[in-house]
Structure 1
Amino acid sequence: MITMAAFQLLFPLLISCVAASARPPRHLPPCQVVQMDVFCSDLSLRSAPVNLPHDVQMLDLSRNQVQNLTQETLAYHTGFHHLNLHSNKIHFIQPGLFKDMTDLKVLDLSKNHLNVFALSKINTGPLTAVESLDLSSNGLYTGMSDYFLADSPLLANLSLNSNSITKIAQNTFSGSSSLRKISLHNNVILEIEDGAFDSLDHLTELDLSKNSITCITDFNLCNLKVLNLSKNSMELFQSTTSTRPYKLLTLDLSENKMPYFPLLPRNNVLEYLDVSRNHLQSVNVTGDPEKQTNVYFSRLRYLDMSYNQLKSIPESFFYCMASLEVLNVSNNCISSFSITNEGLLQTVKIINLSYNSLQSLIFGENALQSLEKLFLNGNDLTTLDHQIFQRLPSIKHLQLQQNNLQICSSDQNHQDPPACVSFSSLRNLQFLYLSENNLRTLPANAFANTPLKLLDLSLNPGLDMDKDSLSGLEHSLVHLLLRENNISSLNTDLSSLRSLKHIDLSTNQLTVLPMWNKDSSIESLNLQHNNLVTLEYRTMLALERSLKTLYMGSNPLSCCSNLDFLHMVQHSGVVVPDIETVTCVHEDYSEPVNIEKVTKEMCHRPGIQNYIIAVVVIVLAVMIALALLVKCCHSRKRKPNRSFSA
């Protein structure tokens, strides 16, 4: 009975298994063939299809289930130029597999399990023609890459990113003498043996970023053009004292722990240098002021020393930087910065001094003639020479947020605040940011003869704007930002700004809209977080011709006092991005009503109208009844007395 019961339980299972085996195998989605390229990614394949075109040149088998890489896996094809096996589960490669692939130039084996294969200590065999090889994300550790690189005579580009390599040995690349670019990003490299790269005469790019390297004391790769050592634990970088010319163009030493400036080859052609996010306390390469070493960067164009601990930068530091275009020293502790020598930084276009501790800023006459962008935000500056920016003839972009500056008037008869700064007659200035400056007043003609396109005066609570403060900007100003200024009404006539397209008046105390006319060019208007109850419909109608975007949220709008405006919003092409939060107040509703749901019928109040009509009808009825009664009385008095006496 037990056997019979077991058979009854197992019989349905046996039937289902037989049925499943009888079904035809599931057909995988077909590969895509484009001329001589075959794309088979994401198809759960364990090998290449057997019906590959005989002259296939590129095969993409990425993101599949390939485990063993053999001749059978590749359908016995050998004419590949490009083979992509990225993101499979390869843990075995048939030795000598690539020997006969004499046309194979690009081989991508990234994101597999080649560390398992490397444990066998078997070379893959010659990569006869391979020029680009990607072995990244394979769990390889020190020495394992040798089994793939031992015989790669033409290999030029090699990626070993995101492995577990701790050491670059002297013979690691001995079988790949043609290497031009090596990427070892995101390993755990602690040591580089002397001479590890010496045999690579063609090496021009080396990426060692995101490792654990602590110092480079004898940098001697003269032919290298790009070196990335960012995100290590570097405390020291020194090159050899050789006078040989170095070809290095780009050096990235950012995000390390260097307390002093790197000692670079005297005979260099460096163009890009990044030493940001270190522990630099001095621009001296020795850290000793008495042993100052001059740095020669005659071709340097970009220098980033941001996010360090620099307290000062002497002018002499820039003496040998005749080609510098970008200087970034933001987020340091610099209290004073001056360029008085007119021969210095003549080519510099951008200087970033933001977020320092500046108390003194001096620019000499005829210095910085090419400067276009100056970042001084976040310095709490209170005093500047009032004509300092007039000495910068090419200045286009000024960022002065988070300081304590006051603005001068261009009118000589106007009484200016002490130590104010002038922004008039800056012939090329187009972008000016003055938010968070505790500005108290904005005098008349403050920007006369300055063709500003953008003016940011936000976050200056209590700012008192003269009615002519924006005079002179009628034909240039496009963006005006006045948010969070606690403004209850605008004295300045914005309708005269014919080029104004974008204005931000959010988070103020406005109860009425500024006046605009039909000549307005406003395209974007932000009125969020104000005290607007009723919008002047004529003003909104004047804006409708040009207005494209309107922000209206968080205002105590009245539903029934703005019917024309609400109708315009509902039926015009104006986009209200925050329309879901734009509400109005209706006395018949306890909660604010979304403006999309407001109808004219909601404001016609039919109950009151019916009551009035009823009262009128009753009054008319009473008046008619009284008239009839009076008429009846009069007719009785006029009747003749027809009685006779006896």
Structure 2
Amino acid sequence: MVRRYCYISHQLKVSTMAAFQLLFPLLVSCVVASASPPRHILPCQVVQMDVFCSDLSLRGAPLNLPHGVQMLDLSRNQVQNLSLETLAYHTDFHHLNLHSNKIHFIQPGLFKDMTDLKVLDLSKNHLNVFALSKINIGPLTAVESLDLSSNGLYTGMSDYFLADSPSLANLSLDSNSITKIAQNTFNGSSSLKKISLHNNVILEIEDGAFDSLHNLTELDLSKNSITCITDFNLHNLEVLNLSKNSMELFQSTSSTQLYKLLYLDLSENKMPYFPLLPRHNALEYLDVSRNHLQSINVTGNPEKRSTVFLNYLRYLDMSYNQLKSIPESFFCFMGSLEVLNVSNNCISSFSITNEGILTKLKIINLSHNSLQSLTFEENTLPMLEKLFLQGNDLTTLDHQVFQRLPSIRYLQLQKNNLKICASEQKQHEPALTDQNHLDPPDCVSFSSVRNLHSLYLSENNLQTLPANAFANTPLKLLDLSLNPGLDMDKDSLSGLEHSLVHLLLKEDNISRLNTDLSLLKSLKHVDLSTNQLTSLPMWNKESSIESLNLQNNNLVTLEYSTMVALEHSLKTLYMGSNPLNCCSNLGFLHMVQRSAVVVPDIETVTCVHEDFSEPVNIEKLTEGMCQVSGTPISIIFVLLALFAAIIMLGLLVKYCHSRRRKRSRSFRA
């Protein structure tokens, strides 16, 4: 009996120990789980203390939110009533995103206990309905960023959200229906630094509306209906965007105080005159493009031309206006200017002759004007790197005009009517008569432009490209496209052997290239598309060509030796729309089949085969399709080579035999 009891007792101990061993890991996992918040609140996601519940058709936050959650994203859901219940009774948020819901009611005093809330996004809701109740949502004690955009708010409604926001720094009221900014609109938000009122219907800004905002540095009033600013006096403002309004006038108040404005965008308005800017300013960026500027005067009276003081200006855009001229004196107080854009105007003449006014200018855009005269004197533009002159129909330039730009790297001359000088030396030859000496030169020189890397001369009606046209100019890119009938001298690219990387000769109606492109050791990208080429340019095994475009030519046969020479460097080849012969281009077929070269337009690469009425796609061509009397072409080549070798061997034997007979005769003598 005792033994049986001991046995049972022993069995119980064993069972208890086994059960404990099984339950212990489960017990530990439960303790760990209770000590840390769940990583997934289905269907939301938790990352540290941030909860993401976006786009889940929710009407409120999940009830099992972790304690101490800092950021809650409930954007793009179905929330209608915003209350403590909606937020699962949490008040310790730092960031609350309720963007794109259907909120039309906010529980009064909801945010008063949210003393840690810094960012509140209520954009794209129906807060105009809530505003009809005329109840303030405040206080927003700690909120620094508030987004109320796209809520259908109209004039006065924003007051119920801003009345008690002492810490508010960033405010967005974009895309509402506000027509007027009243004097007291921002009285409850005196800490504002940035205000965006983009895309409203603002017609009026009452005097003093922004005067109480001493910290305001950025103001966006773009895409509204403002017609004029006559007394701009926001001295501390740094960024002002007034683009896309109906402004006809911008004038600052007369003041000796320094304005801190750095960025001013007045583009897409209706101003006929240059804005009247503060005398003492720090402006760096000014955009008055797409207005109705007819002159650079600040008033309609040409007798009262005001001097423009923009000593710190770095970027000036006056493109897409009606300017006919810009006197050089306009730039006298723009010593820091780096970018000047006056494209798409009606300017007929442009000149810089004063050495000291634009010493830091790097980019000039004079494209799409009516330029007939362009003058740059020595040492006037020492830092100019890019010059855009396309679309001006220029026919005559001082032939040395570009040599006076020591830093020029990029030159765009598309759509003009220029002729290229044969060489720099010819222009220095003494004139035969005084009359000839006075005649304006009819060509422009591109030799010895020491830093020029990119030159665009497409659509210039160029007929000839003379020898040494670019001597001592280290061009990396040369575009000569769309010059039908261009006749290139065999030495026209002489001097570019070690610099030229990109060469564009498309749509030039070229039937044969006189220039030996194999001499251009650095050439990697060549565009010869849409010409009349019947044969490939010659290249040797030292070629570095990586991309070659031969589309839309008259190529029947691709020389095997040239293809072999190109194969080691060529990566991309365009060959569509050529009348290739199927059985004369097996070398090209092998190259494509081995995937040694990518042919992006392979679907349009076809060849003509006498056994087929329609062109055959090169991918479907096989060597077996090219046979003569049942014998593959490859065998014919082998037989021909063998026959040639036999003939050569016979001639060699005959030659050796004749030499032996001559030696024997001389010995007998």
Residue 168 (structure 1) aligned with residue 168 (structure 2): no
Look up the equivalent residue of 2:591 and give its one-letter code: M
**Within the alignment, does 1:157 sit opposite 2:170 as a pair?**
yes
Equivalent residue, structure 2, for 1:126? 139
Per-residue CA deviation, residues 162-188 of structure 1 (Å, 9 max, x unaligned), is 111111111111110000000011111
AA partner of residue 366 (structure 2):
L
Match of 1:493 among 499, 502, 516: 516
Structure 1 stretches of 4+ moved >4 Å: 413-418, 605-609
The residue number in structure 2 matching 1:593 is 616
Q: How does 1:571-586 map to 2 (within 5 A)?
A: 571-586=594-609
Describe how 1:198-213 pairs up with structure 2 within 5 A: 198-213=211-226
Q: What is the CA-CA distance between 1:287 and the residue it aligns to?
A: 2.7
Describe the SS at the equivalent of 2:583. Answer: coil
Q: C-alpha offsets along residues 330-359 of structure 1, whole Å, 9 cap, x if unaligned?
A: 000000001001112111000000000001
Paired with 1:66 and 1:516, the residues of 2 have a C-alpha distance of 70
Q: 2:639 maps to what in 1? A: none
Question: What is the CA-CA distance between 1:308 and the residue it aligns to?
Answer: 0.1
User: Deviation digits for residues 72-126 of structure 1, max 9, x if unmatched?
Assistant: 1101111110111111111111111111010000011111111111111111121
Give 1:42 shift: 1.3
Please give the residue correspondences for 1:334-353 in structure 2 after superposition, counting only pairs within 5 Å. 334-353=347-366
Deviation at 1:32, TM superposition (A): 1.1
Say whether the 8 Å CA contact 1:528–1:552 is kept in structure 2.
yes
TM-aligned CA distance change 1:415 to 1:248, over 3 Å: closer
Aligned-partner Cα distance in 2 for 1:68–1:285: 53
Whether 2:555 is the aligned partner of 1:542: answer: no
Q: Which deviations, in whole Å up to 9, do the C-alpha atoms of 1:58-81 show, x marking residues without a partner? A: 111111111111001101111110
Distance in 2 (CA, whole Å) between partners of 1:580 and 1:572 is 15
User: For the Cα contact (< 8 Å) 1:29–1:43, is it kept in 2?
Assistant: no
Matches within 5 A, 1:87-166: 87-166=100-179
Separation (CA, whole Å) in 1 of partners of 2:120 and 2:310: 40
Displacement of 1:559 in angstroms is: 1.2
Q: Distance in 1 between matches of 2:621 and 2:185?
A: 75
Aligned to 2:230: 217
Long gaps (5+) in structure 2: 1-39, 430-439, 633-669
Partner of 1:456: 479
Q: Which amino acid aligns with 1:123?
A: N
Give the corresponding residue for 1:393.
406
Residue of structure 2 in register with 1:430 after alignment: 453
Q: Distance in 2 between matches of 1:146 and 1:339?
A: 54
Superposed CA RMSD in Å reads 1.6
The Cα shift of 1:410 comes to 2.3
1:410 aligns with 2:423: yes
Q: Distance in 1 between matches of 2:563 and 2:152?
A: 65
> Which residues in structure 2 correspond to 1:220-259 (within 5 Å)?
220-259=233-272
Q: d(CA) in 1 for partners of 2:107 and 2:405? A: 68
- The amino acid of 2:176's aligned partner reads N
Aligned residue type for 2:582: C
Aligned-residue offset at 1:146: 0.8
Distance change in 2, residues 1:29/1:491 (3 Å): farther
User: Which residue is 1:514 aligned to?
Assistant: 537
Deviates more, 1:401-410 or 1:330-339: 401-410
C-alpha separation in 2, matches of 1:29 and 1:75: 15
**Separation in 2, partners of 1:91, 1:581:** 59
Structure 2 residue 99 is the aligned partner of structure 1 residue 86: yes
Match of 1:362 in 2: 375
1:32 alignment partner, one of 10, 21, 45 = 45
Matched, 1:58 2:71: yes
Q: For the Cα contact (< 8 Å) 2:41–2:65, is it kept in 1?
A: no
Partner Cα separation in structure 1 for residue 248 and residue 573 of structure 2: 54
593-602 or 151-160, larger mean C-alpha shift:
593-602
Distance 1:248 1:418, change over 3 A: closer
* Residue aligned with 1:194, SS: coil
TM-score by length of 1: 0.89
| Residues in 2 aligned to 1:520 and 1:318: alpha-carbon distance in whole angstroms | 49
Cα offset for 1:501? Answer: 0.6
Offset of 1:546 from its aligned partner?
Answer: 1.0
Alignment TM-score, normalising by the size of structure 2: 0.86
Counterpart-to-counterpart distance in 1, 2:285 and 2:585: 59
The answer (yes or no) to whether the contact 2:563–2:587 under 8 Å persists in 1 is: no
One-letter code of the match for 1:594? N
- What residue in structure 2 maps to residue 419 of structure 1? 442
Say how many residue pairs are matched: 583
What's the offset of the Cα at 1:412?
3.0
Shift of 1:413: 5.3
For residues 372 and 424 of structure 1, what CA distance do their matches in structure 2 show?
17
- Residues 46 and 291 of structure 1: CA distance in aligned 2, closer, same or farther (over 3 Å): same
- The separation in 2 between residues aligned to 1:565 and 1:511, in whole angstroms, is 16
How far is the alpha carbon of 1:606 from its aligned partner? Answer: 6.2
Paired with 2:529 and 2:476, the residues of 1 have a C-alpha distance of 20
Counterpart among 186, 191, 196 of residue 178 in structure 1: 191
Question: Does the CA-based 8 Å contact 1:583-1:595 persist in structure 2?
Answer: yes
Give deviations 1:512-569, integer Å, cap 9, x for gaps. Answer: 0001111111111111110011101111111111111111111111111111211211
Q: Secondary structure at the match of 2:350?
A: strand
1:274 is aligned, of 275, 280, 287, to 287
**The residue matched to 1:412 in structure 2 has which SS?**
helix
Distance 1:81 1:438, change over 3 A: same
2:645 equivalent in structure 1: none
> After the TM superposition, which of the residue ranges 272-281 and 338-347 deviates more from structure 2?
338-347
CA–CA distance in structure 2, aligned partners of residues 415 and 326 of structure 1: 34
Post-superposition offset of 1:465: 0.5
TM-superposed CA distance for 1:449, in Å, is: 0.6
Q: Structure 1 residue 409: deviation in Å?
A: 2.3
* Deviation per residue, 1:584-615 (Å, 9 max, x gap): 11122222111111111211266699xxxxxx
Secondary structure, aligned partner of 1:565? helix
SS state of the match for residue 152, structure 1?
coil
Helix, strand or coil for the counterpart of 1:560? helix
Report the Cα distance in structure 1 between the residues aligned to 2:214 and 2:242, rounded to whole angstroms. 20
2:399–2:441 contact (8 Å) kept in structure 1: no
**CA apart distance, 1:577:** 1.2
| Contact 1:167 1:191 survives alignment (8 Å) | yes
User: What is residue 628 of structure 1 aligned with on the other side?
Assistant: none
Contact 1:28 1:43 in 2 (8 A): no
Task: Check whether the contact 2:316–2:339 (CA below 8 A) recurs between aligned residues.
Answer: yes
Q: SS state of the match for residue 216, structure 1?
A: strand
The one of 475, 485, 497 aligned to 1:474: 497
Please state how far the C-alpha of 1:572 moved relative to its aligned partner: 2.4
CA distance in 1, matches of 2:156, 2:277: 31
Q: Does 1:77 align with 2:90?
A: yes
